[in-house]
């Protein structure tokens, strides 16, 4: 991030666009780290576990860990019902916007606006937009599409209303840190992302 925000890049350089994708993947990884903390898999020490959960989700987009923690466990307890904050039955966009509205708050938007304007004192706006704002927004689609929408859409013959990705492990990692193995995650929520593939 330090390098990219200071980079005097040329728009014709293909490496620029590759780095946007790398940043997107790393932002997704930040959220996955916070998600693992919500299941207590970062550390057996609760204080350390929660510290990294708070840190990861705040760096990700100014979110508050305790709010996301509550919402995420509602998802696990009431999957595929009206009480599930991650579920909407009427198509991709309605589902995505309901998903986002359940997590985004006014204070979080204020935090991000302040961070943007403070960084803009020292950082070129094009760098901020291309390597900070755009990858974080793209990662919300990555997280939603591969980690929520695809696994939970349609009807399922299991109690978790979830399916699992049929592709290979590289695809599973690059799309959403193995959270395409979503049925397995619901069956064993205490399994950290980097070991989820073992339950496939």
Each residue of 117-149: pLDDT tens digit? 999 999 999 999 999 999 999 999 999 999 999
Bigger pLDDT: 52 vs 1: 52
Transcribe 137-195 into DSSP letters. Answer: HHHHHHHHIIIIIHHHSS--SSTT---B--S-HHHHHHHHTTTTBHHHHHH-TTS-GGG
- Burial class of residue 17 (count of CB atoms within 10 Å of its CB; 0-12, 13-18, 19+): exposed
Average pLDDT of 58-75?
93
Instruction: Specify the pTM.
Output: 0.90
Indicate the range of 6-10, 46-50, 82-86, 131-135 predicted with least confidence. Answer: 82-86
Tell whether the model's pLDDT for residue 200 goes beyond 80. no
* Residue 60 confidence (pLDDT): 94
| Number of compact structural domains in the chain | 1
| Sign (positive or negative) of CA dihedral 125, 121, 113, 111 | positive
Give the range of the structural domain holding residue 20, as residue numbers without chain letter. 2-199
């Amino acid at each position: 991030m330090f390098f990219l925000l200071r980079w005097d890049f040329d728009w014709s350089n293909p490496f620029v666009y590759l780095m946007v994708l790398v940043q997107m993947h790393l932002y997704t990884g930040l959220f996955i780290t916070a998600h693992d903390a919500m299941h207590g898999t970062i550390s057996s020490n609760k204080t350390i576990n929660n510290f990294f959960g708070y840190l990861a989700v705040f760096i990700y987009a100014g979110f508050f860990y305790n709010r996301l923690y509550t919402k995420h466990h509602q998802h696990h307890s009431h999957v595929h019902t009206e009480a599930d904050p991650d579920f909407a039955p009427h198509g991709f966009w309605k589902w995505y916007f309901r998903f986002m509205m359940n997590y985004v708050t006014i204070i979080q938007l204020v935090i991000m606006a302040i961070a943007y304007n403070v960084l803009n004192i020292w950082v070129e706006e094009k760098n901020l937009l291309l390597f900070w704002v755009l990858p974080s927004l793209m990662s919300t689609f990555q997280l939603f599409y591969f980690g929520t929408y695809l696994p939970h859409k349609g009807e399922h013959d299991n109690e978790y209303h979830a399916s699992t990705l049929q592709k290979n492990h590289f695809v599973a990692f690059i799309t959403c840190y193995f959270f395409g193995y979503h049925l397995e995650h619901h069956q064993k929520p205490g399994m950290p992302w980097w070991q989820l593939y073992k339950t496939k």
